Every structure is written in structure tokens, then in C-alpha cells.
Amino acid sequence: MSMFTIISYDIVDDKRRANVMKLLKGYGVRVQYSVFEAMLDAREFREINDRLRKLIDPTQDSVRCYRLDAIAAERTTIHGIGRLTTDPTHYMV
């Protein structure tokens, strides 16, 4: 079952930041400079976490992953432009 996932990051090094951004673009939609939204199942969530751990420096960088169930996602409020990203971000064929 896929869950709405918000991933935010604060990466010190430009190269590491670019690599994290490229990774996350493969899974979700960039909604702010360092924030992505995605619908991820359990396997994808484990995979992205494993890959993120390899990309960052845990002594300098921060990545936060928030998994929201359907009720929490429905309670999300957006002020200004944008909309909640609940459509699938990629398809398996």
C-alpha cells in the first residue's frame, strides 16, 4: 500500500545536495526547493532510505521523511500556489 510521503533535506555540500535532489526526482515531485512529495509503497520507502543514507554525510546533513496515512494527507493545508501531490509519480509497465 502506498503512503503519501514528504521528504525534506538540508544538505551542506553542493554535490551531495545535487545527488539527493536527482534521487528524489526519480520518486516524487519537488514542491519547494528542498522538499519533495511522493506516493511510496513500503519497498520504495526502504529503497529510498537506503540510498539516501549512502548519499549524505550524517555529521553535516539532515534528511527527514514523513509518512502520512490517507486521513493525515487529507488534512494537509496549502496556502498560496500549489496542490497536494497524491497522483502516482511513476508507473511500472
Question: Rounded to two decimals, what is the model's pTM?
Answer: 0.81
Query: pLDDT digits over 16-26, tens only?
Result: 999 999 999 99
Residue written as grid cell 494527507: 73
Average pLDDT over residues 19-35: 95
How would residue 34 be classed by pLDDT, with cut points 50, 70 and 90? very high
Kindly report the backbone phi and psi dihedral angles of residue 55, in degrees, each rounded to the nearest multiple of 5, phi listed first: -90, -30
DSSP bridge partners of 4? 39, 68
Quick check: 34 and 10 in contact, CB under 8 A?
A: yes
Q: When comparing pLDDT for 73 and 88, which is higher?
A: 73
pLDDT averaged over every residue in the chain: 87
Joined together, the cell numbers standing for residue 3 give 503512503
Lowest pLDDT segment from 26-30, 42-46, 57-61, 87-91: 87-91
